[in-house]
Amino acid sequence: MPKPLSFEGLHKTCRDTSKPYLHTKDVHRTEVPDEKVPWSASFPDYKPKDYTDPKSKGKDWADPDIDDSDFHPKWNSIDGKIDRKSHIGEYDIVDGRPQNPLGRTGLKGRGTLGKWGPNHAADPIVTRWKRDDNDKKVTSEASGKPILQFVAILRGDVKQWAIPGGMVDPGEAVSATLRREFSEEAANSIKKTPEQRKELEKSIETLFQHGTEVYKGYVDDPRNTDNSWMETVAVNFHDENDSTVGGLELEAGDDASDVHWKDIASEMELYASHVSMLKTVGELHNAHW
Ligand code: BGC
């Protein structure tokens, strides 16, 4: 089995200064040169904007303002139902705020994320082999290896293809998030009749019994700030013989606006760090990349 990848190098997506911060017109990140990303590098002129999406304030999924006198978060711990632990170790609290463990991003505050510190997501990578009309595996001419396909959704927010992942709800087990997000986004379970939903749940239940974790850690997500960041657990569920969801009718739902089985190949362009997660999945099955 290939080594699960870890986030290496510098974050790039969450330092992008070419466009304003998500859902804003005039919130710009401060430019952070590569060598100034680590907090250990001296950067006395670093005075990034402090931005927390006003629309998130008071929402049940969002933390209060950091200096709210009634807000007493237990950093680096399970805080009631909220998991404030990072997958990558203890993070520092500087001037009362959690500090992005991967360094500077050019923006302070909570941005559009819900939690100060780590925000946890889960990504189900559902795969099958690409087959021809005679059910034979299709092989790539370039690599001579069979082509793997995964269930991809078109994210409604950023209009980019992605793994149908989502946020772990407070108190929810990651295994439940993986199943729920896949059912909601790729099989539109919310809109199914109770009978259809039962059938669907049976297929998903069977497939999701055996998963292989391919990534656990920090994600270079466009929403990240100096004080709030995304982390995920990505798990591969492989349907070797099309016996569970391999033959399932996909239907986009919830936050997804389209869904299909996408060939896994190095030239794919996907959301956040999803390409590197799929590379690990390709290696795991010795598939074309
Ligand atoms: C997405 C996941 C993604 C994570 C980190 C979540 O909102 O649903 O697919 O891996 O953010 O970028």
Asked if the structure places residue 62 within a domain, the reply is no
Provide the mean pLDDT of the chain: 91
Which of 219, 220, 259, 280 most suits a substitution to test ligand 1, by most atoms within 8 Å of the C-beta? 219
Of all protein residues, the one whose alpha carbon is nearest to atom 6 of ligand 1 is 166
- Cβ–ligand 1 contact at 83 (below 6 Å): no
Of all protein residues, the one whose alpha carbon is nearest to atom 2 of ligand 1 is 165
pLDDT of 9 strictly over 80: no
CATH number of the structural domain spanning residue 143 = 3.90.79.10
Domain that holds residue 273: 121-221+231-284
Please give the pLDDT value at position 7: 58
pLDDT of 129 strictly over 60: yes
Asked if the structure places residue 87 within a domain, the reply is no
Residues 148-186 have pLDDT tens digits of: 999 999 988 788 999 999 999 999 999 999 998 888 878
Atom of ligand 1 nearest to the CA of 220: 12
Average pLDDT estimate for 85-98: 96
Question: 210 Cβ partners below 8 Å, 6+ apart?
Answer: 237
Residues 178-224 have pLDDT tens digits of: 998 888 878 777 777 888 778 878 888 888 888 999 999 999 999 99
SS3 state of residue 115: coil
Q: How far is the CA of 32 from the centre of ligand 1 (A)?
A: 24
Q: Report the domain count for the chain.
A: 1
Please give the pLDDT value at position 185: 79
| pTM (global) more than 0.85 | yes
| Helices assigned H by DSSP within the chain | 174-186, 194-207, 274-284
Q: How far is the CA of 162 from the centre of ligand 1 (A)?
A: 8
Asked if the structure places residue 187 within a domain, the reply is yes
pLDDT of 288 strictly over 60: yes
Q: Is 50 exposed, middle or buried (0-12, 13-18, 19+ CB in 10 A)?
A: middle
Q: How far is the CA of 166 from the centre of ligand 1 (A)?
A: 6
Atom of ligand 1 nearest to the CA of 164: 9
Cα gap 134→104, rounded to integer Å: 53
CB atoms within 10 A of CB 286: 11
Atom of ligand 1 nearest to the CA of 223: 12
SS3 state of residue 162: strand
Atom of ligand 1 nearest to the CA of 255: 8
Average pLDDT estimate for 32-46: 95
pLDDT of 2 strictly over 60: no
Asked if the structure places residue 289 within a domain, the reply is no
Asked if the structure places residue 27 within a domain, the reply is no
pLDDT of 36 strictly over 50: yes
Asked if the structure places residue 168 within a domain, the reply is yes
CB-CB contact of 107 with 88 (8 Å): no
Question: 102 Cβ partners below 8 Å, 6+ apart?
Answer: 7, 10, 11, 37, 218, 229
Containing 166, the helix (H) or strand (E) segment is strand 166-167
Atom of ligand 1 nearest to the CA of 166: 8
Average pLDDT estimate for 111-130: 96
Average pLDDT estimate for 63-83: 96
Asked if the structure places residue 83 within a domain, the reply is no
Asked if the structure places residue 268 within a domain, the reply is yes
Q: How far is the CA of 121 from the centre of ligand 1 (A)?
A: 6
Q: Model confidence at 12, in pLDDT bands (50, 70, 90)? A: confident
